[in-house]
Amino acid sequence: MTELKGKILAGKILVLPQEAETKTASGIIIPDSAKEKPQVGTVVLVGAAKKDEPMELKKGDTVYYGKYSGSTLTLDGVDYLLMSQTDILYIQ
């Protein structure tokens, strides 16, 4: 992955979602039409803190987010999710 150049607004983060599972634990191959949208990803860009809300995330954090969180953003052919820090459910 190339280094992204740009700036994210305050309180926002850019997340690279993990790939959806292609095979179950028992070895059954999951077709593309049945794959679940991943709900875990890695933070790649972090905006500044808001005046009343400190930024608790940093680049490289693994985060879990809601199923319908964020907006898809394609940069250099890679799909990312742009979301608010408040959309994050859990930081690993």
The pLDDT assigned to 1 comes to 54
Q: What would the mean pLDDT of 50-62 be, rounded to a whole number? A: 92
Mention every residue, 6+ apart, whose C-beta is less than 8 A from residue 55.
11, 46, 47, 48, 49, 85
Where are the strands (E) in the chain, listed by range? 12-17, 40-46, 62-65, 71-75, 78-84, 88-91
What is the pTM for the complete model shown?
0.81
**What are the residue boundaries of the structural domains of the chain, listed by start?**
12-91
Band of the pLDDT at 15, cuts 50, 70, 90?
Answer: very high
- Of the CA atoms within 13 Å of residue 77, those in its CB half-sphere come to 2
Q: What would the mean pLDDT of 6-20 be, rounded to a whole number? A: 87
Q: Per CATH, which fold does 12-91 belong to? A: 10 Kd Chaperonin, Protein Cpn10; Chain O (2.30.33)
